[in-house]
Structures are given as structure tokens and as C-alpha cells.
Structure 1
Amino acid sequence: MTTIQDQDHDQDRDRDRDRDRDREKDAARPPRAVVGSQISHDEEMFGAAFDGKVVRRFFTYVKPYKHRIYIALFSVLVFTGAQLAIPLIIRYAIDKALIAEGGSGSILLAAMAAFAVIILINYGASYLQDLLVGLTGENAIFDLRRAMFMHLQHVGLSFMDKTEIGRMMSRLQGDVNSLQEFLENSITAIGDLVLLVGIIIIMLVLDFWLGLLTLSVVPVLLFVRLVWLPRARVAFRTARETNSSANGALAEGIHAVRTVQGMGREAVNFELYKEKARENLRSHLRSAKFAQAMIPIVDTLTGAAMGIVVVVGGALVLDDALDIGVMVAFLFYVQRFFDPIRSLTIQYSVMQRAMA
């Protein structure tokens, strides 16, 4: 009897010893394997979203081509001036040649000739701007790629040990393309801002009170944008981070495919990558919602402003307090006023991607 009890006691002791050994193995075992980089580590290595230093550092690669940039800026200003002049020519043709008593065909022909000249200037300035900005962007990105490659040849081994190669390649390639897009859109953004200011000034000069009433929708837009901006910034930043993580995971999986196959971890790695891809999908869907949220709001405010011009301007025309050509010009300017706002909204997402 005692022998049986001793044997049971020895078996219990062996089981306890095995259980303790398993616990020690579990404690020593690393946490669940991950594929790709973590978002927090990504930000630690590559920095935060917007930083003015990033812009200054990037434009050092643009400086050798500053003469092209100056010509492109001049072309943008000429293009903007042509855009501002078109409604004024239409207004002149309506009031002086079509509506006014004694209007002659010569005035209409002169207006048509001026319109044709403005269209040609508009085309030439737009072509020159796109050509110069494209050439400058390609050359600046070429210099940047060379500088990055030279820099990577001299980074410390500790950096390479802490950084996943796949994620780093994803960030380098994707961010360089975003910087090129940012450079090309920066010139356009300057033209959009000048166009906004020019439209406001012209509308107030044509008819101060009607212009002021038309611009009454702008505070609503500013309030909506104030609410939208911080949330959109977070969404764009998260999308950039998850995209880097997913692309890095894919590159790491391809790089280590022989090891994965040798260990029979295909299914495990696929599930890990699927989590990264699903997280990337969710973040991009969220950023897409924020990117598109402002467009219908801008379109609605455009319709409201045009409605104000038609109702109030039409009443003034019927009372002979406003020329019909001025009202038509107002309609053109209202449409053109919200176009650059819509464009600047889209360009904001480009800037956020480039500021990584």
C-alpha cells in the first residue's frame, strides 16, 4: 500500500515538474510573432505628420532649379489672371454689345477677339506651368533618390537591425512619390489662393453689397473645415502608418519565403498578414470618407451662393439697380470661387502624405 502511494506521489511530483518546465518555456518563448512593423515603432523611427522642417529640407533639392520654379509661378499668375478676366469680358459683351441701346457688332467682335486672346494665353500659361513643374519635380526627386541611397550606405548597423527592410523600402518609395506630388500641387495651390483673393476683390468692386451677401456662406465653410481638419489629419496619418506596415509585412514575407516554407508557417504568416491588410483597409476607408466629406459640402455651399446671386441679383436687375452682365459675371465668379476651395481640400490629403 505504501509503495503504491509512493508511486502516486512520484507521478504527481513528475507532473508538477513538467508543468513548471512548460511554464518556464512559455515565459521564455517570445510573444506572438508579427509580420511587418508596428505603428508606434513606425512613428518612433520616421517622425510625426506635419513639420515645417520637412518642407525646408525637401526644398533644398528644388533650389538648383529655382529659375524654373520662378517661371512656373509667373505662368500660374498669368493663368490665374486669364481666369479672372474671362467673366469680365463676358460682362462687357453683354452690357455693351447685347443689352445696351445702340450696341454695335464691332463691340461684340472686339469682345470675341479679346476672349480668344485670353483663351490662348490661358492655354500657353497652363502648358508652360505643367511642363516646368513636371521637369522640376522629376529632377528634384532624382537628386533626392541619389541622396537617400548615399545616406543608406552610411547608416549604423543598429538602425538596420531595428528597422524592417520591407517597411523601410515601402516608406522610401511611397513617400518619395508623395513628395513629388506635393511639389507639383504646391505651385497649383499658390494659384488657387491668388484666384480666391482675386475673385473676392472683383466681386466686391463690381457690387459691394451683393458680393458681401454672396460671401456670407464662407463662414459656414470655415466652421465646417475647422471641425473637419483635425479628424481628417488623424485619419490620413493612420492610413499612412497602416499602409507602411502592410507593405512592409508583404515585403518581409517575400524576403523570408524560403524560411517560412521550411518551417511550414505559411498559414500562420498569412493570418498575420491578413490582420495587417484588414487594418490598412479600415484606415483607408476612414480616410477616404474624410477626404470626400468636404466635397458635397462645398458643392452645397456653391449652390447656395449661386441661389443668392440669382434671387438677389435678379431682383436688383428688375429694379434697374444692377446690370445683367454683372449678375452673369457674379455667377461665373461664384462657380470659380469654390473650385479652388475644392482643389485645396484634395491637396491637403496630398500634403499630409508627403509630410511623413
Structure 2
Amino acid sequence: MMHGGGFGGGMGGGSMGGGGMGRMGRRLGMDDEGELGSVYNHRVVTRLLSYVLPHKGLAIMSLLTMLVTTFTIVAQPWIIKLAIDELVDTGEQVNAGEQATVGALAFVMVLFAVNMGVRFVSNYMYQVSLARVSQGVLYSLRTRIFGHLQRLSPSFYDRNEVGRIMSRGQNDVNQLQEFLNLVVSSLADVLSLGGIVIALFLLDVQLALITLTVIPVLIGIMLIWQKIAWGTFMRVRQAISVVNANLQENISGIRVVQSLNREETNMERFDEVNNGHLEANLHASRLSAALMPTVEILTAIAIGLVVIFGGRQAINGTMEVSVIVAFVLYVQRFFDPIRNLTMQYTQFQRAMTSGVRIFGLLDTPVEVKDKEDAVDLPPVKGAITLEGIRFHYVPEIEVVKGIDLTIQPGETVAFVGQTGAGKTTLVALLNRFYDVTEGRITIDGYDIRDVTQDSLARQTAM
């Protein structure tokens, strides 16, 4: 601890202690990787829309082309039904010894080709326009975050690990960017489901009701799966955050690590957290892998119901074969949107949580900033005065305790003391990286809080 007395210009009473800049308050930082938000957060969505508006033309194009793509997907089985009907009619004409007409069949085949062509073009435009909007939003968010991080005070970095800040700028931004894709793809899935259900009931109401009896079973399985998968996917998120933080700390502190010969110890610690990340990912992969066979089994059951009940009606002559084929094709397309929507539910929650964290970071106030009436510091002569200054990184743990010091122009003053005495803190206060909690610091009679930071920085050096 350094006590008053004799640094060139007479350091008065008071003391410094408790230490190095930024070593206090790590526990006050960001530590919410395991949190999962609601599916919809109005504040996040509203602010995200402000980033989408500059790309509203592309966003509208993406929505319109998505609608066209969804329509072509739903229409395809119906066109195949029409083609089968025409083939059956043609066969009946041949069997009856009549002249077969292929004009209607040719029209259906052309219609099928046009549908496929429109689907290809619309899907391409949909994917490209959505990607451009998403990447534009990602670019704007990262630029905004980087600019804000440049302005934040050093006290923010004292409280937050760099690895977690990097997670905000990378992982959370990517997650929020995917939210746009999720919104459009979820809308497409809902419209596709609606179109398929309408088509099924238009084809045959009784068979549609029989086929849809497997839906409650699927929904129940999905709800159970989601409840189990939630914790697993959160562990993956927590694990990668820990790996990033551990990696960053070891790289930034590599000199200390090597000087203390801690390579082996740090490798063991990193292997532990890295293995935790591996196990979490493998468990998540096993859960995801279990979902697909479940959907396939239910799809097979639904198709079996169509074949059994529809085939019986076809044998009795009360149902056309083309209707059974269309039913089978629609059933194959029916379960994928349900599975997608179930998995996207958790993704929506993660995206909303990422949005809360990102905009929370962007809303973090700059603690050291210029007053509205701040003036430029004139060319300095070098008279520095510390008047009863006190400072703490963490409330109730005071680092600088009532320091009085006067340094005359031209004097050379050295701060000497043991590690953690507060030497770096005092220099940081002189450069106004932090504001004192009590007292004031003046240069040539100007309180450094009354001058612009830019004019102060131009005339100081470290």
C-alpha cells in the first residue's frame, strides 16, 4: 500500500490499494448463456425490424416468392392426380375400342413442367433475396456492436470476459440473423400445412379424417422430445461459451501462462471443458437423430391407413386410384412441416434470447462521456492536481482512498508500490478512463470531467 508523502509535489494523506485495473468485478458480468426466452418478444422484434426496413424491397420479394414456392409444392400432387385420371380415361377409351385422345394428358404434362419451372425460379429468388436480407441485417448489427464496443468505458470490460463479449458479437448475432429465416420458413410451413389439409379434405373427407388420426400422437411425441431436447441444446450453448472464454483467457494471457510454466495445467483444464462441449454435442446429435425415424414411422402408418382404407374403397369402385396416389403424396409432405415447426419453436426462443442480449449490449450506457457543455482543453502547461480523490471498481471495495497530490509543470513523478497497490488505477484516472467517485482531478485548473475526452487524449500519452 502506498501512503502519503514525497512524490515530487507532495502527495497528501490517503492511500491506494486493492488493485490492478479490472481485477475486480468479474462476477458482475454477462453470465446468462443458459437462459431461454419467450417465443415472441415484441421489443426485440420491433428493433430487429428497424434493421430489416432498409432491405424492405428484398424482404417483400422473399415473402412473395415463398408464397409462390409453397403453392407449387401443394399443387404438385394434385397435378399428378389429374395426369393419372387422364391416363385412366385414355386406357378406358382404348379398351372400349374408341379413338384415344391425348390432348388433355399433354396439357397436364405441360402444366406439370410449368409448375416445376415456376417452383425452381421462385425458390431460387426466395433463397437469394432472403439471404441478402439476412446478411445485410447481420452486417449492420455487427457494425453497430463493434462501434458501440469502441465507445464503452473500460469499466465495462473489467466486468465482462472478452470471450463472452465475443459470443455476443458472433454467436448471438448469428442466432438473431437466423430468426429472419425462421420467420419466413415457419410461415411457409404453416401455409403448406394449411394447403395440404385443404387438399386432403377436398379429395375425400372420410379418408382425410382417418389419415389425420396420427397427428395427436405426433404432437405428443414432439412435445416430449422438445422438453428433453431443450436442456440438451442449452448445455451445448453453455459449453461453447465456456470453451470460448477459456480459449480467449489462455491466448490473451499466454505470457503469464508460459512464465509460470502452466501449459500442462491449462491443457488439462481446456481438455475438460472441451470434452464437456463434445459430450453435449453428441447427446444433442443423438436426440436429433431419434426424431427422424419417429416421423418416418408415423408417416408410414398414415400411408398404410391410406392404402388400407382407400384401397378398399377403390376395389369397391367408390374411390379413384388417382385420389389414393394424391393422398400418399400429400401425407409424405404433411409431416415435415410439423417436425420443422416443432424444432423451430426452440430456435425461436433462442433467437429471442439472443436478441435480448444483443440489444441489451447495445443499450449499455457509456459510463465515461462528455458533458453537454464540455469544452476543449487548451494547450496544457502541465499543472496536475488531485484533490481528495476516491475510487472503486466494485462498490464497498475502495481502491483509491482520499489522495491529494500536486504536480508542477515540468516535474517528473514516479508512482512506486507493490503489485496491486493502485499505480495503474491512478494513471487510468488521470487519463479519464474512469471517473473518480469522490474529489476531482484538474489539469491547469480544468476539471478533466469538464473538458472533452478527445482534447484530453490528444495531449496525454501512455
With the shorter chain as reference, the TM-score category is 0.7 to 0.9
Shift of 1:167: 3.0
Is the Cα contact below 8 Å between 2:29 and 2:161 reproduced in 1?
A: no
The answer to whether the 8 A contact 2:196-2:330 is kept is yes
Deviation, 1:181, is: 2.9
Partner of 1:50: 37
Give, in whole Å, the separation in 1 of the partners of 2:81 and 2:221.
Answer: 33
Q: Compute the displacement of 1:239 (Å).
A: 1.0
RMSD: 2.2
Question: In the aligned structure 1, how far is the partner of 2:152 from the partner of 2:36?
Answer: 23
2:207–2:310 CA contact under 8 A, matched in 1 = yes
Looking at structure 2, the residues matched to 315 and 344 of structure 1 have their Cα atoms a distance apart, in angstroms, of 34
SS of structure 2 residue aligned to 1:153: helix
Q: 1:92-139 CA deviation, whole Å, 9 max, x = no partner?
A: 111133346336211110100111111111111101101100111111
1:75 aligned partner:
65
**Identical pairs, percent:** 37
Q: What are the Cα deviations for residues 258-294 of structure 1, in whole angstroms up to 9, with x where unaligned?
A: 1100111111111111221122122222222333332
CA-CA distance at 1:342 after TM superposition: 3.4
Structure 2 match to 1:91? 81
Amino acid of the structure 1 residue aligned with 2:111 = A
Q: Which residue of 2 aligns with 1:332?
A: 329
1:149 aligned residue: 146
Identify the range of structure 1 (279-288 vs 328-337) with the bigger mean alpha-carbon deviation: 279-288
Alignment of 1:97-136 (within 5 A): 97-99=87-89, 101-102=92-93, 104-136=101-133
TM-superposed deviation, 1:176: 1.9
Q: Is the 8 A contact 2:201 2:208 kept in 1?
A: yes
Q: Distance in 2 between matches of 1:314 and 1:144?
A: 56
Give the partner amino acid of 1:325.
S
**Pairing of 1:193-272 with structure 2 (within 5 A):** 193-272=190-269
1:95 corresponds to which letter in structure 2?
D
CA separation of 1:201/1:94 partners in 2, compared to 1, >3 Å: closer, same or farther? same
Q: Structure 1: which 5+ residue stretches go unaligned?
A: 1-36
Q: Scaled by the length of structure 1, what TM-score is found? A: 0.83
Aligned-residue offset at 1:56: 3.7
Amino acid at match of 2:124: Y
User: In structure 1, what residue type is equivalent to 2:175?
Assistant: S
Structure 2 distance, partners of 1:249, 1:319, is 70
Aligned to 1:164: 161
Secondary structure of the structure 2 residue equivalent to 1:222 = helix
Amino acid at match of 2:233: F
SS of the equivalent of 2:151 reads coil
TM-score (structure 2 length as normaliser): 0.65
Tell me, yes or no, if the aligned pair for 2:34 and 2:235 is still in contact at 8 Å.
no
Aligned with 2:319: secondary structure? Answer: coil
Aligned residue in 1 for 2:54 = 64
Bigger Cα Rg:
2
The count of aligned residue pairs is 318
Query: Residue 353 of structure 1: CA displacement?
Result: 4.6
* Cα distance in 2, alignment partners of residues 284 and 346 from structure 1: 16
Is the Cα contact below 8 Å between 2:222 and 2:339 reproduced in 1? no
Higher mean Cα deviation, 174-183 or 303-312?
174-183
1:24-77 alpha-carbon deviations (Å, 9 max, x no partner): xxxxxxxxxxxxx99x97544x68222424444333311221222122111111
Whether 1:307 aligns to 2:304 is yes
Tell me the distance in 2 between the aligned counterparts of 1:278 and 1:169.
21
Contact 1:317 1:324 in 2 (8 A): yes
User: How far 1:81 moved relative to its partner?
Assistant: 0.6
- Corresponding residue for 1:32? none
Structure 2 residue corresponding to 1:186, chosen from 171, 178, 183: 183
1:221-277 deviation digits (Å, cap 9, x = unpaired): 111112122222222122111111112211221111111001111111111112211
C-alpha separation in 2, matches of 1:175 and 1:284 = 18
CA distance in 2, matches of 1:292, 1:175: 25
Q: Which deviates further from its counterpart, 107-116 or 174-183? A: 174-183
Q: Which has the higher mean CA deviation after the structures are superposed, 213-222 or 276-285?
A: 276-285
SS at match of 1:313: helix
